[in-house]
Amino acid sequence: MRYAASLTTILVLLWLGISGVYKPLILGLGVASIALVVWISRRMDVVGVEHNPALYSWRLPLYWGWLLWQIIVANLQVAACALQPSRLRPSVVRVPVPHKTAVGKVTYANSVTLTPGTVTLLLNPGEMTVHALHPASREDLESGAMAQRILWLEAGRSDSGADA
């Protein structure tokens, strides 16, 4: 029940923050849609220990900030490649995936895809295949910095017992 409560709290805050309209009809529709989403999530059994939206606590906004910065830097690199196509050296690389949970693996794969210049092609147990547009993207992947950030993010999980 506490997972449904944390999902409800996060959805309410998200709704209020994004909506910006606080008229009774809009608030009523918001309450109805949040109730429907929470009910469907519980029926589908997707709200639980691993899918708890409050799982990562204060670490998640820090990770988002770091990821946003990586996206900005990668955008600049891709723009430079667009201006100088000779810098393009597309390659396909296999990268180890050290994460144990499905959420960690998917977060890693999605973060790579969100970063311009890289696209996750295949996610297998223990590794993923990524298309990198230029050498800097490939080197960033091979350094494992993003994987380490997600491991740090997962270390804050309430069920892991470790809070580094």
Least confident segment among 36-45, 68-77, 107-116: 36-45
Report the mean per-residue pLDDT for the chain: 85
**What CA–CA distance (Å, rounded) separates 75 from 87?**
14
Domain spans of the chain, in order of start: 2-43, 59-155
Q: What percent helix, strand, coil does the chain show, rounded to 5?
A: 60, 10, 30
Neighbours of 76 (CB within 10 A): 11
Least confident segment among 3-12, 48-57, 123-132: 48-57
- pLDDT, position 50: 57
pTM, rounded to two decimals: 0.69
- pLDDT, position 28: 93
